[in-house]
Structure 1
Amino acid sequence: MKKIVVIAALSVVLVSCNKKEETIVKSESKMTYASFGDKITADNSITKDEMLAKYKTLKAGDTLNVKVATKINEICQNKGCWMTLDLGNSEKAFVKFKDYGFFVPMNAQKRESVVEGKAFVEETPVAELKHYAEDEGKSAEEIAKITAPKTEYKFLANGVLIAK
C-alpha cells in the first residue's frame, strides 16, 4: 500500500513539473502587453529602423499613419502624458496621446512597446522644450541651456501596447 501511495505521489509531482515547463515555453514564445488608448495589436508593426527611414523622408506638415514596435526611452514623470521612443542612432520620436485621452505608466521606461497613430515632423518652440524638460525632472541649469527651437520627430498615438 505504501508503494502505491509513493508511486502516485511521484506521478503527481512529475505531471506538475511537465505542465510548468509547458507554461513557461508558451509565455516566452508570445509577449504579453498592457493596452492604453484604442485597442490595437502588435501585428504588422514596423521596426525602429524602418520608422527612422520613414521620418527622414517626411517634411514639416507631412503625416504618415503607422504602427511601430520599439523601446520607450522616457516618460513624463508628472502624469505619463507623453513619452519618447527609441529610433536608433541616438534618434528619438516624441509621442503625445490622441485628444489627451489616455496616459501611460510613469515606470515603463526601457520597456518594449507598440505604438499606432500618426507620425510627423515638427519644429518645437523653446517654451515647449523647457516645459518638457521640467516634466522630465531636468535641473534648472539643463533647462536654461535650451535657447533655440528644435525640429523633432513626433507621433500622435491613438493606441499603445507596453510589454508587461
Structure 2
Amino acid sequence: MSYFRLLIICVLVLISCKNKSEETTKQDSQTPVVTYTSFGKEIIADDAISSKSMAQHYQTMQVGDSINSKMIAKVTDVCQAKGCWMTLNLQGDEEVMVKFKDYGFFVPKDISGKDVIVNGKAFVSEISVEEQQHYAKDAGKTEEEIALITEPKKTLSFEADGVLVLQ
C-alpha cells in the first residue's frame, strides 16, 4: 500500500513539473527577444539613458567638459569609408558625433536608422573646418556641400568604448 502511495505522489510531482515548464515556455514565447550585435568592449544594455536625457546633459556642458555615460539613440549617419564614426540623433535636429576609442573598432556602414547603445565618454568639443570637411567627404557629400563648410563648429561628441546595434 505504501508503494502505491509513493507511486501516486511521484506521478503527481512529475505532472506538476511538466505543466509549469509548459507555462514558462508559453510566457517566454510571448516576450519579444531583443538581440544586439556587439562592437568594441563588451557591454550590456542595462542602465542606458535615452537620447533626450543625454541632450539635457549636453546642454549644461561647456567645451572641455566630459562625463561617463551609456545612452541609446538612433543612428543618423555612418562613415562610408570604414565605419570609423557615426552620428546619433539626440532630440529634434541635435546630433552627437561618435568616434571609437583608440580607433580600436568600427561599426557596419549600413546601420543608419537603427537604434544603438553606446558606452563611453560624452564631451563637448570644437571641430575645425578641415576635420568637418573630412567627415563630409567620408559621408559621401558632394564637393559643393563640402565647400560650404567655412567655420569651426561646437560639437557634441562621444568616445565609445563599446557599441550594441539593435538587430
TM range (shorter): 0.7 to 0.9
Q: What are the Cα deviations for residues 37-67 of structure 1, in whole angstroms up to 9, with x where unaligned?
A: 0000110010011000000111111110000
Q: Percent identity?
A: 47
CA distance in 2, matches of 1:46, 1:81: 23
Larger-gyration structure (1/2): 2
Q: TM-score, normalised by structure 1?
A: 0.84
| Other structure's SS at 2:80 match | coil
Residue from 74, 83, 88 that aligns with 1:85: 88
Q: Structure 2 unaligned segments of length 5 or more: list them.
A: 1-25
- Tell me the C-alpha RMSD between the 2 structures: 1.8
For the pair 1:25 / 2:30, whether they are aligned, the reply is yes
Q: CA deviation at 1:25?
A: 2.9
CA distance in 1, matches of 2:35, 2:50: 18
Q: Structure 1 unaligned segments of length 5 or more: list them.
A: 1-20
Aligned to 1:5: none
Distance 1:25 1:151, change over 3 A: same
Q: TM-score, normalised by structure 2?
A: 0.82
Aligned to 1:144: 147
Residue from 57, 63, 66 that aligns with 1:63: 66
For the pair 1:36 / 2:25, whether they are aligned, the reply is no
Aligned to 2:125: 122
Distance 1:148 1:35, change over 3 A: same
| Other structure's SS at 2:58 match | helix
